Structure 1
Amino acid sequence: MYSSPPRPIPTQRPSAWPRVLGAVGVVALALVAYLAAWPVPIEPVAWRAPPAQGYVGVHAPNERLKGLKTIDLGGEIGPEHIAFGPDGKLYTTVASGAILRMNADGSGRSVFARTGGRVLGFDFDARGRLIAADAMRGLLAITPDGRVEVLADRVDGDPIRYADAVVVAPNGRMYLSDASTRFAPADWGGTFEASVLDILEQRSTGRVLEYDPATRRTRVVAQGLSFANGVALSADGRHLFVNETGKYRVWKIAVDADRLDLLAPAPGPKARVLLDNLPGYPDNLMRGRDGRIWLGFAKPRNPTIDAMAGKPWLRSVTLRLPRALWPIPKAYGHVIAFTEDGRIVADLQDPSGAYPETTAITETADRWYVQSLHAPVLGWLPKP
């Protein structure tokens, strides 16, 4: 009987799953190692964020900042600081580094000066010079014809790394904030990037400086601030109001303080916290009318960021994530006014954040001009 030859027994191919799982494991381990150990520029420390109260009481939600009228900036963005000069013109700084000059209604706009850096805050002295806090170059004086002079870029041999705001006292002395002695915008990709690094780190290296044009000497008034920002002078010229952006508060500091350490448990009678546990990140301070001081919040507080206050390692992990995953607070327009004794007398909000990163208000007899970090126009409201 005919029989066919026996068929060979098929050999079973090894499964590919072990290799796939192995590759996934290697990738997972590499990701964990990256998130745990990849170098980041910050050395964060733990701090205690006060429990956020939210938008309640004097900060109850409202829409008083909605429907801003606007002034075109000719393609420029970020009217971060606004002031009127001795010539009656409106001056504003913008993100390109230019200082614009225009009439109060926005007409006649021109570039007044370019410093080669990024001017954030400014004021005018008795000689009519624009005194500028340039985040890249330090404290500058700009003459009415646009000539730029560096007044101070160091203090006791140490660079002024992040000049942020400045106010000129009646006696001619100039008080400026050096937001961070760790992260200079010129070295870390710009003002926003450097501010994020400093606030995430929370080492509180910001300080307030005094420059005396008579002696050309610069000294430290106070130090130990978590991102020292807006500066305003009291009506009697004896105190400074200073925003501490990274800790949601405003300090009142005597101008004659000297190297006052605000990180000390009891800094002494020369300084006290005037406003604490604010609902956002305070930015600029501007003297208004009738004793008001205007303060703007660049961003509202973020519960995710507050929850990381006591977890420095988690803030390091955050910087290893793609920027799109950073817990950047949402846009929310918010400006307040307070008196020298810390009483809130005005609160204007726009929950939609249509006019982004409001930093303060410049007040005239009939208008409120709203400052912004990134708006493509200059917003204003007629005073009620």
Structure 2
Amino acid sequence: MARRLIKPRPWTPPPLSDPGPTGPLTVARLLPTGGRGPEDVVFDHDGRIVTGLGDGRIVRIDPATGDRTVLADTGGRPLGLHPRADGGVLVCDHDRGLLEVRPDGTVHVLVDTVDGEPLTFASNVVQGRDGTIWFTTSTSRWDLADHLGDIVEHTCTGRLIRRDPDGTVTTLLGELKFGNGLVLAPDESYLLVAETAGYRIRRHWLSGPAAGRTETLVAGLAGFPDNMWLGSDGLLWVAIAAPRNPLIDRLLPGHGLLRLLVWNLPEAVRPKAAPIAWVMAFDLDGRRVHDLRATDGSYGFVTSVAERDGLVVAGSLTAADIAVLS
């Protein structure tokens, strides 16, 4: 089957930020999910882990006992999650859009079109105290199975979108470089947005004198930032799915024909994500506090990380289990 053609867009990757010291990422134990692909892991208001699996199920897991409860089946591919105080969950579903799982397990579509077009690749979601919902989309051109196509062509079609309590949907930011993880500030004055293909985390102000302005909080990351979580320790925890690929970085400033050739190479020889388990944590001024990595194969392709009361857990698009980190 022929691959979809990419439309290469020139972009010069930023230089790497000061790498600084790193520490070991140690997996203390694994929590079975009963499925595969716990892409996003979050803590609910009672300290239980909630995740979505590749078969569409939303699962709640007690981290102490491993007991699992299936909350719902979205009928699609759940990605980013936001637990509500009433036991419900907001879900960014790759196939179906922005969904609401109510406490009784029923699933309702909140947003499936944006600006007159079908909502595709909804990625992560947060909700404010007044019921306002913000969510990201990664790309309007590619699906999850071919997400690397967006990285290689770099057409930047990700978005940050707001859904008001009355149902009004507004695009706040466009041209995101694969919009992904999303965190709401404790005082709800700003959002933090991971741009996976931009190797950066941005801050979008919602209120105050800078309202409407977007600035860079962390730039020049050495890897691809994915889902994020604001821990009870006050730190911004960031999953790093993979290191930057030197070949792709060399091709991105131009080389449209070469990028097209690379994209159409057989699967066995195309650039692949390096096997690593990697999480970072920053304070809310963008200063790095933790940089934890493992290459021993104990876990890999970390797409989410969350901390609560000293317990740090990680999820993966490709693994079967959730990792509890030391």
Do they superpose with TM above 0.5?
yes
- 1:140 paired residue number: 99
Provide Cα deviations, 1:309-352, integer angstroms capped at 9, x if missing partner: 12122111112211111111311111111111111111111133
State the shift of 1:157 in Å. Answer: 1.1
3-state secondary structure, aligned to 1:317: helix
Q: Which residue identity is paired with 2:189?
A: R
Matches within 5 A, 1:1-384: 40-52=4-16, 57-58=19-20, 60-63=21-24, 65-74=25-34, 76-86=35-45, 88-183=47-142, 185=143, 191-193=144-146, 195-213=147-165, 215-255=166-206, 270-309=213-252, 310-382=254-326
Measure, in 1, the Cα distance between the counterparts of 2:212 and 2:63. 42
Q: For residues 222-277 of structure 1, give each alpha carbon's deviation from its aligned partner in whole angstroms, at most 9, with x where no partner exists.
A: 111111000001121011100110110111012369xxxxxxxxx99701111111
Question: Are residues 269 and 140 of structure 1, via their aligned partners in 2, closer, same or farther at CA, if it must alter by over 3 Å?
Answer: closer
Runs of 4+ in 1 over 6 A off after TM superposition: none
Structure 1 contact 298–373 (Cα < 8 Å) conserved: no
Number of aligned residues: 323
Partner SS, residue 370 of structure 1: strand
**Contact map agreement 2:97 2:120 (CA 8 A) in 1:** yes
Q: Cα distance, 1:106 vs. partner?
A: 4.5
* Secondary structure, counterpart of 2:274 in structure 1: coil
Higher strand share: 2
**Percent of matched pairs sharing the same residue:** 34
Q: Which segments of 5 or more consecutive residues in structure 2 lack a partner in the other structure?
A: none
> Contact 1:49–1:306 at 8 Å: present in 2 too?
yes
Radius of gyration: which is bigger?
A: 1
Q: SS of the residue aligned with 1:68?
A: strand
RMSD over aligned Cα atoms: 2.1
TM superposition shift of 1:67 = 3.6
- Greater per-residue helix proportion: 1
Stretch of structure 1 that moved more, 79-88 or 339-348: 79-88
Greater displacement, 141-150 / 83-92: 83-92
Length-normalised TM-score, structure 2: 0.92
Q: Which amino acid aligns with 1:312?
A: G
Q: Aligned partners of 1:224, 1:204: CA distance in 2, in Å?
A: 5
Partner SS state of residue 203, structure 1:
coil
Q: How far off its partner does 1:353 sit? A: 4.3
The answer to which structure, 1 or 2, has the higher relative contact order (CA under 8 A, 6+ apart) is: 2
Output the CA distance in 2 between the equivalents of 1:327 and 1:292: 33
Shift of 1:117: 0.7
User: d(CA) in 2 for partners of 1:358 and 1:61?
Assistant: 17
CA distance in 1, matches of 2:64, 2:322: 10
Provide the C-alpha distance between the structure 2 equivalents of 1:315 and 1:251, rounded to a whole number of angstroms. 27
CA contact (8 A) 2:232 2:307 kept: yes
CA distance in 2, matches of 1:341, 1:366: 21
Distance 1:256 1:162 in 2: 28
Q: CA 1:354–1:308 in 2, change beyond 3 Å: closer, same or farther?
A: farther
Distance 2:242 2:65 in 1: 27
Is 1:227–1:246's contact at 8 Å kept on the other side of the alignment? yes
Deviation at 1:287, TM superposition (A): 0.8
Give 1:62's aligned amino acid: G
